[in-house]
């Protein structure tokens, strides 16, 4: 598939009979390290050696699964999986590693587990060796002593004989690369050997491959016909070539995969021998080969000893992968598409084998049950697995989540939490609690993938007659400023001129800064673009300092007024109606300097003076006025967070003052139009607010619903509630800010009150509601005790896979439109901005998807929900100056060559 589609979501189902599974391993969960006659394993020894494990933790008790068969089986049942993959502890059955003595209690434990699983219809998948070699065998050389091959075969034979009538899937070894390199090379895992990293890992690997092959042949000879299949679980990171167009990078990535995975897979799946590239690489490092050599007979025995390819995949390498999210532990960066590429590589390299993913999962550093990160991880990785299966034809038969529950994460101890169920290790009972991810995984299994939801199905139909189709810009984002001369044709300095010319405030390529799209000189070209697109309306903004350079009417810049007349006349001549925003963030800098801009009540009447001129000048030709664009953004980002002009950082206070002055300025402007212009000019005045939609992050927690409501009220209710409901802020907002202010020792609420007179001035001052909407977030309850992040503590705390803040969530706009109607009343709505950032010059197919899917949801809101949507305005006509992000994000329907 095409590279641009790499991260697209793919709807579809896995084939019938696909095996959903979940996994654990003995040492990580069982505990009972010396119970009922169990022998010690190398992990008992290792974890009992101080300094080897984080916090000197051990697996002595772990999840206490040795005593909790019933509990564990219940967890498995709750997930709805078809398989449960666990491992047998060799030394629990053979305490000294040899068949000389069988520990019956150990056999009973596994029998009980297997029978309980079968009783609930779950197939056991059994790993024979998940790293816990009997210590007695280690004492005579462990995996470095060739006699381990026979010991393993005897142990495996016993398991086949004892449990095999009920087991369809056997795994001999889990992750031989990790066993050999971490255990015998760098020694950070048991048995902790690091004395000869150039030899020991290769010797251990050699014996593992032989032990695997021998056990496979035993199984083949005596059990296979009556039982099931057997394989080895291998692991690797996906290696992405740094430059996929550079053959030597591609070769290096391939070499990496061969040396981690091919080391084991090549002998087993190909010719019984190591890959040539590995032999060459290892042997080149020293004159004497450190890679042991298989005899011809051994090669014959080894080749073809797997009934399926079992793979554990977690992450990708190319450090760091751009845009990847770092998870816990630190070796794990989240790169979902790496899974698909790895599966395809296996498919090609090993001749289209049957593949099972035997582990995949993510850790978190905290023990929370509200693990959105894991939900997102599974969703993204499993979706990539689906693409490999459905789009690429990889023969993928099953998927296994790691892990059933939080457990002992080897030398990291109990820090990283990988479980679908949380385990409380401070409680002797080791209670298990479902995490959100367990519920998600269960849903995914029941759906057998990602069926297209009815929610997302397209409808067909037409928009109402006279629906407004428009596109939008704003003055500062497209107009022209000459370096050094802030007064081209008499324009005054705006606050965004100051911000954007201050180094460090904009991530911008300065050379375009003073020109932007040069629309001040190219409005006729802009009109041609609009005409060729066929829009009925064009939404643009007037620059206050272009009309009143010092903010007040002492100086009126007639050149500025002439410019807007020319633009408006040009539009009307082309049959396009102007839709004019009076304030799109470019306050005259003089007003900011004189009294602090929007935080001062002085601003109200100055704004009214300015709009009075605009109504008088342009009102005969302009029938739709928007007083303000996105008060939430310019107050919060400009006066609280300080990331937008005027870059003031005073969270929890200034934005509320600015918001109040904005509301009153808006109301006064509306009243002015109502009293003096409406009868003659017959136009409409409204306001544009921006709002993301929010969904509760956890649909099972009431506090997340409450948080969602607060998010929406802080976003929209702050302005819409006074204007359309009762002249005052929403109760939720008043109560919340008051409570927090009191808790912080403030004498009164930081949210300024509105007097009765102000309320009646504000109430009812919009003929329509302009809605700017881009994306949907997940809201959840958080509480930061200070007033910093008052807003952020309520919202935009979303964990996403990908780099952009803007995730297309088409159904969000429909829900938002319905919310507005229910919450603020059934009034005319224009979608005054909606659009997507997509950077290819011509092939902006993501933007096409965005518009298509969002417009369909708008159509549903109109047709199915009777929301009174009158128009849709695409943001933006052309690429432009995206505020603090400079010229990098491209929102334009037209590409602008800034060079
Ligand atoms: C682990 O044990 C060693 C030896 O007793 C001690 O020096 C070290 O401080 C312990 N580490 C922790 C984190 O307790
Ligand atoms: C390997 O194991 C055998 C017993 O199985 C033992 O006799 C021999 O000494 C061991 N080799 C080493 C190097 O420990
Ligand atoms: C208008 O602004 C200018 C420049 O800031 C200032 O000097 C003047 O006094 C203002 N005029 C009025 C009437 O406020």
Residues 6+ apart with CB under 8 A from 353: 269, 306, 308, 309, 346, 347, 395
Using an 8 Å Cβ cutoff, are 548 and 589 in contact?
A: no
Residue 872, token pair as written in the block? 């849709």
CA 150 to chain centre: 48
**What is d(CA 142, CA 126) in angstroms, rounded to the nearest whole number?**
22
3-state SS track over 338-391: HHHHHHHHHHHHCCCCCEEEEECCCEECCCCCCCHHHHHHHHHHHHHHHHHHHC
> What mean pLDDT do residues 315-320 have?
71
- Please choose, from the candidates 109, 215, 226, the residue with its C-alpha nearest in 3D space to the C-alpha of residue 167: 226
Q: How many CB atoms neighbour CB 297 within 10 A?
A: 9
CA of 51 to the centre of ligand 1 (A): 6
756: Cβ contacts below 8 Å, ≥ 6 apart: none
Q: What is the mean pLDDT of residues 546-570?
A: 96
The b/e string for 152-188 (b: 16+ C-beta within 10 A; e otherwise) is bbbbbbbbbebbbebbebbbbbbbbbbbbbbbbbebe
pLDDT of residue 838: 85
Q: What's the token pair of residue 773?
A: 């909407």
pLDDT digits (tens, 9 = 90+) for 140-182: 999 999 999 999 999 999 999 999 999 999 999 999 999 999 9
Place of tokens 């369909």: 856
How distant, in Å, are the alpha carbons of 24, 170, 263, 313, 713 from that of 359?
9, 15, 19, 6, 43
Q: What is the pLDDT of residue 777?
A: 83
Sorted by sequence, the CB contacts under 8 Å of residue 823 that are 6+ apart come out as 712, 716, 717, 720
- 48, pLDDT greater than 90: yes
236-250, 384-398, 832-846: which is most confident = 384-398
pLDDT reported for residue 505: 83
Model confidence at 797, pLDDT cuts 50, 70, 90, reads: very low
Alpha carbon distance 467, 654 (integer Å): 39
Could you say which ligand is closest to the alpha carbon of residue 415?
Answer: 1
SS3 content of the chain, % helix, strand, coil (to 5): 45, 15, 40
Judged against a pLDDT cut of 90, whether residue 26 lies above it is answered with yes
- d(C-alpha 673, C-alpha 636), whole Å: 28
pLDDT recorded at residue 326: 64
Q: How far is residue 404's CA from residue 29's CA, in Å, rounded to a whole number? A: 10
Does the N-terminal peptide bond of residue 119 adopt cis geometry, omega within 30 degrees of 0? Answer: no
- Cis upstream peptide for 460 (omega within 30°): no
User: Which residues are 32's β-sheet partners?
Assistant: none
Residue-level pLDDT at 801: 37
132: confidence class by pLDDT, cuts 50, 70, 90: very high
- CB of 140 closer than 6 A to ligand 2? yes
For residue 688, the model assigns a pLDDT of: 98
Q: Can you give the pLDDT at residue 803? A: 41
Task: For ligand 1, atom 9, name the residue with the nearest CA.
Answer: 51
Q: How far is the CA of 501 from the centre of ligand 3 (A)?
A: 24
Q: Which ligand 1 atom is nearest residue 54's CA?
A: 13
User: What per-residue string of b and e applies to 809-845 under the rule 16 or more CB within 10 Å gives b?
Assistant: bbbbbbbbbbbbbebbeebbbbbbbbbbbbeeeeebe
For residue 372, the model assigns a pLDDT of 84
Using alpha carbons, list the distances in angstroms from residue 843 to 846, 886, 895: 8, 22, 11
User: Counting ligands in written order, which one lies closest to the CA of residue 150?
Assistant: 2
Q: Which of the 8 DSSP states describes residue 730?
A: -
282-289 average pLDDT score: 70
pLDDT at residue 703 tops 90: no
CA-nearest of 489, 502, 540, 550 to 519 is 540
What does the block give as tokens for 890?
A: 């491209």
* Among the listed residues 578, 634, 575, 651, the one whose alpha carbon sits nearest the alpha carbon of residue 772: 634
* Closest Cα to atom 1 of ligand 3: 552
Residue 800 banded pLDDT, cuts 50, 70, 90 = very low
Residue having the nearest C-alpha atom to atom 10 of ligand 2:
140
H or E stretch at 301? helix 296-302
Query: Would you say the CB of residue 146 lies under 6 angstroms from ligand 2?
Result: no
Q: For residue 206, report the distance from its CA to the centre of ligand 2, in Å.
A: 16
CB 41 within 8 A of CB 90: yes
Tell me how far CA of residue 570 lies from CA of 525, 528, 565, in angstroms. 10, 10, 8
Ligand 3 atom closest to Cα of 591? 5
The predicted model gives 690-716 an average pLDDT of 88
CB-CB contact of 775 with 805 (8 Å): yes
- Cα–Cα distances in Å, from 695 out to 380, 585, 692, 699, 889? 19, 29, 10, 8, 26
CA atoms of 268 and 429, how far apart (whole Å):
43
| 94, 99, 141, best to mutate for ligand 2 pocket (most atoms within 8 Å of CB) | 141
Residues 67 and 109 sit within 8 Å (Cβ to Cβ): no
**8 A C-beta contact, residue 836 and residue 847:** yes
Chain length of the chain: 899
**Rounded (5°) CA angle 48-54-59:** 45
Distance 55 CA to ligand 1 centre (A): 7
Is the peptide bond preceding residue 70 cis, with omega within 30 degrees of 0?
no
Task: Reply yes or no on whether the pLDDT at 752 is more than 80.
Answer: yes
Task: Tell me the pLDDT band of 794, cut-offs 50, 70 and 90.
Answer: very low
pLDDT at 802 over 50: no
Among 17-26, 326-335, 642-651, 734-743, the range with the most confident prediction by mean pLDDT is: 17-26
**Residues 794-813, mean pLDDT to the nearest whole number:** 60
User: Of 517 and 27, which is predicted with more confidence?
Assistant: 27
pLDDT value for 799: 36
d(CA 194, CA 205): 15
* Ligand 2 centroid to residue 139 C-alpha, Å: 9
Judge whether 343 and 394 are in contact, CB under 8 Å. Answer: yes
Residue 471: per-residue pLDDT: 97
Residues contacting 297, CB < 8 A, separation 6+: none
- In ligand 1, the atom with minimum distance to the C-alpha of 51 is 1
Which residue's CA lies nearest to atom 9 of ligand 3? 554
* Average pLDDT score over residue span 338-355: 96
CB 489 within 8 A of CB 561: no
Give φ, ψ of 171 to 5 degrees: -120, 125
Is the shortest distance between the CB of 150 and ligand 2 below 6 Å?
no
**Closest residue to atom 14 of ligand 2, CA basis:** 140
pLDDT attached to residue 637: 93
493-511: pLDDT as tens digits: 899 888 888 888 877 655 5
Residue 330: Cβ within 10 Å count = 10
The predicted pLDDT at position 226 comes to: 76
| Torsion sign, CA atoms 468, 470, 476, 480 | negative
For the four alpha carbons of 522, 527, 529 and 530, in that order, the dihedral sign comes to positive
Q: What are phi and psi of 310, to 5 degrees?
A: -105, 125
The Å distance, Cα 60 to ligand 1 centre, comes to 17
Asked whether the predicted pLDDT for residue 482 surpasses 80, the reply is no
Q: Is 146 exposed, middle or buried (0-12, 13-18, 19+ CB in 10 A)?
A: middle
Sequence-distant (≥ 6) Cβ neighbours of residue 209 within 8 angstroms: 176, 264, 267, 268, 302
Calpha distance 101→79 (Å, rounded): 37
288: CB partners within 8 A, 6+ apart: none
799 and 860 Cβ atoms separated by less than 8 Å: no
* Residues 522-542 pLDDT 10s: 999 999 999 999 999 999 999
Range of lowest pLDDT (405-409, 482-486, 599-603): 482-486
pLDDT of 791 reads 53
What's the mean pLDDT in 285-303? 87
Q: What is d(CA 754, CA 853) in angstroms, rounded to the nearest whole number?
A: 41
* Confidence check: pLDDT of 323 > 60: no
Asked if residue 421 lies in contact with residue 415, where contact means CB atoms within 8 angstroms, the answer is no
Using a pLDDT cut of 70, give the percent of the chain over it: 94
pLDDT of 533? 96
Q: Which of 40, 298, 359, 384 is catalytic?
A: 359
Mutate-to-test residue for ligand 2 from 147, 154, 200, highest number of ligand atoms within 8 A of CB: 147
pLDDT greater than 80 at residue 654: yes
Tokens linked to 143: 């995996």
Q: Could you tell me the pLDDT band of residue 441, with boundaries at 50, 70 and 90?
A: very high
Q: What is the pLDDT of residues 76-89, one digit of tens each?
A: 999 999 999 999 99
| Ligand 3 in reach of 552 Cβ (< 6 A) | yes
Share of the chain above pLDDT 90, in %: 76
Query: Which structural domains are found in the chain, ordered by start?
Result: 14-448 (3.20.20.80), 468-885 (3.20.20.80)
What is the chain's mean pLDDT, rounded?
92
Whole-structure pTM value: 0.84
**Catalytic residue at 359?**
yes
Phi and psi at residue 299, in whole multiples of 5°? -60, -45
pLDDT band at residue 1, thresholds of 50, 70 and 90? very low
Among the bound ligands, the one closest to the CA of 139: 2
Taking a C-beta distance cutoff of 8 angstroms, is the pair 515, 880 a contact? no
Tell me how far the alpha carbon of residue 487 lies from the centroid of ligand 3, in angstroms.
Answer: 17
Question: Residue 499: its pLDDT value, please?
Answer: 87
* Ligand 1 binding site (Cβ under 6 Å of any ligand atom): 50-51, 55-56
- Is 550 near ligand 3, meaning CB less than 6 Å away? yes
Is ligand 2 within 6 A of the CB of residue 784?
Answer: no
d(CA 594, CA 247): 62
| E strand spans, 508-583 | 537-541, 577-583
Mutation pick for ligand 3 pocket among 544, 550, 604 (CB with most ligand atoms within 8 Å): 550
The total of other beta-carbon atoms located within 10 Å of residue 726's CB is 14
Residue 787 has pLDDT above 60, yes or no: no
Cα end-to-end span (Å), the chain: 32
């Amino acid at each position: 598939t095409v590279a641009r589609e790499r991260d697209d979501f793919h709807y579809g189902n896995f084939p019938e009979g696909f095996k959903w599974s979940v996994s654990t391993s003995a040492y990580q969960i069982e505990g009972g390290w010396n119970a009922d006659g169990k022998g010690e394993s190398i992990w008992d020894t290792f974890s009992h050696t101080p300094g080897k494990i984080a916090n000197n933790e051990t697996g002595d008790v772990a999840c206490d699964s040795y005593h909790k068969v019933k509990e564990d089986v219940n967890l498995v049942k709750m997930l709805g999986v078809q398989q449960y993959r666990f491992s047998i502890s060799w030394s629990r059955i053979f305490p000294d590693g040899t068949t000389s003595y069988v520990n019956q209690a150990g056999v009973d434990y596994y029998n009980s587990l297997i029978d309980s699983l079968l009783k609930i219809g779950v197939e056991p998948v059994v790993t024979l060796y998940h790293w816990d070699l009997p210590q007695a065998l280690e004492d005579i050389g462990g995996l470095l002593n060739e006699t381990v091959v026979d010991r393993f075969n005897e142990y495996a034979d016993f398991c086949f004989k004892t449990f095999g009538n009920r087991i369809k899937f056997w795994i001999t070894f889990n992750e031989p690369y990790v066993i050999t390199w971490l255990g015998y090379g760098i020694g950070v895992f048991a048995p902790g050997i690091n004395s000869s990293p150039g030899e020991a890992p290769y010797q251990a690997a050699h014996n593992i491959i032989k032990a695997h092959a021998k056990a496979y042949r035993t199984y083949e000879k005596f059990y296979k016909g009556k039982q099931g299949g057997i394989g080895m679980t291998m692991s690797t990171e996906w290696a992405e070539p740094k430059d996929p167009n550079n053959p030597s990078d591609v070769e290096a990535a391939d070499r990496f995969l061969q040396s981690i995975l091919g080391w084991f897979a090549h002998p087993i799946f190909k010719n019984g021998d190591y890959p040539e590239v590995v032999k060459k690489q290892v042997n080149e490092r020293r004159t004497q080969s450190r890679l042991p050599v298989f005899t011809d007979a051994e090669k014959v025995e080894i080749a073809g000893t797997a009934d399926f390819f079992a793979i554990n995949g977690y992450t990708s390498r190319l450090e760091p992968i751009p845009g990847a999210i770092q998870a816990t532990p630190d070796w794990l960066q989240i790169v979902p598409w790496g899974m698909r590429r790895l599966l395809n590589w296996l498919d090609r390299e090993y001749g289209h084998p049957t593949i099972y993913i035997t582990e995949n999962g993510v850790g978190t550093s905290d023990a929370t049950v509200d693990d959105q990160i894991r939900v997102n991880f599974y969703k993204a990785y499993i979706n990539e697995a689906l693409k490999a299966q459905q789009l690429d034809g990889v023969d993928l038969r099953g998927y296994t989540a790691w892990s059933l529950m939080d457990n002992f994460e080897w030398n990291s101890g109990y820090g990283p939490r990988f479980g679908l169920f949380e385990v409380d290790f401070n409680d002797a009972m080791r209670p298990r609690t479902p995490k959100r991810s367990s519920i998600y995984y269960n849903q995914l299994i029941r759906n057998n993938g990602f069926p297209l939801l009815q929610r997302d199905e397209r409808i067909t139909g037409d928009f109402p007659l006279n629906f407004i189709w428009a596109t939008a810009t704003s003055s500062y984002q497209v107009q022209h400023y000459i370096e050094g001369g802030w007064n081209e044709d008499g324009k005054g300095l705006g606050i965004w001129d100051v911000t954007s010319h201050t180094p460090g405030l904009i991530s911008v390529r300065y050379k375009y800064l003073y020109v932007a799209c040069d629309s001040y000189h190219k409005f006729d070209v802009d009109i041609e673009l609009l005409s060729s697109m066929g829009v009925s309306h064009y939404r643009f903004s007037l620059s206050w300092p272009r009309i009143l350079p010092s903010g007040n009417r002492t100086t009126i810049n007639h050149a500025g007024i002439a410019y807007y007349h020319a633009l408006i006349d040009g539009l009307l001549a082309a049959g396009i109606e102007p839709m004019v925003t009076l304030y799109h963030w470019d306050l005259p800098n003089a007003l900011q300097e004189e009294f602090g801009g929007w935080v001062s009540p002085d601003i109200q009447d100055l704004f009214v003076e300015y709009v009075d001129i605009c109504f008088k000048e342009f009102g005969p030709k302009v029938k739709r006025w928007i007083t303000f664009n996105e008060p939430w953004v310019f107050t919060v980002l400009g006066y609280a967070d300080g990331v937008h002009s005027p870059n003031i950082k005073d969270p929890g206070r200034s934005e509320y003052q600015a918001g109040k002055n904005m509301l009153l300025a808006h109301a006064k402007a509306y009243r002015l139009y109502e009293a003096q212009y409406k009868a003659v000019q017959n136009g409409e005045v409204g306001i544009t607010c921006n709002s993301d939609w929010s969904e509760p992050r956890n649909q099972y927690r009431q506090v997340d619903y409450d948080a969602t409501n607060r998010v929406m009220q802080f976003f929209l209710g702050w302005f819409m509630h006074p204007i359309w409901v009762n002249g005052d802020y929403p109760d939720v907002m008043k109560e919340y800010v008051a409570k927090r202010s009191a808790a912080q020792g403030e004498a009164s609420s930081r949210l300024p009150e509105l007097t009765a007179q102000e309320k009646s001035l504000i109430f009812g001052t919009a003929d329509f509601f302009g809605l700017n909407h881009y994306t949907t977030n997940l809201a959840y309850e958080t509480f930061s005790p200070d007033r910093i992040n008052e807003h952020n503590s309520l919202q935009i705390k979303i964990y996403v896979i990908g780099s952009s803040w803007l995730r297309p969530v088409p159904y969000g706009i429909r829900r938002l439109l319905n919310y507005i109607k229910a919450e603020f009343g059934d009034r005319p709505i224009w979608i005054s901005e909606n659009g997507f950032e997509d950077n290819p010059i011509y092939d902006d197919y993501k933007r096409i998807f965005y518009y298509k899917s969002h417009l369909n949801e708008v159509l549903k809101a109109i047709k199915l929900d009777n929301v009174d949507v009158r128009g849709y305005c695409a943001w933006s006509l052309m690429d432009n100056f995206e505020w603090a992000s400079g010229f990098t994000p491209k929102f334009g329907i037209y590409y602008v060559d800034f060079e």
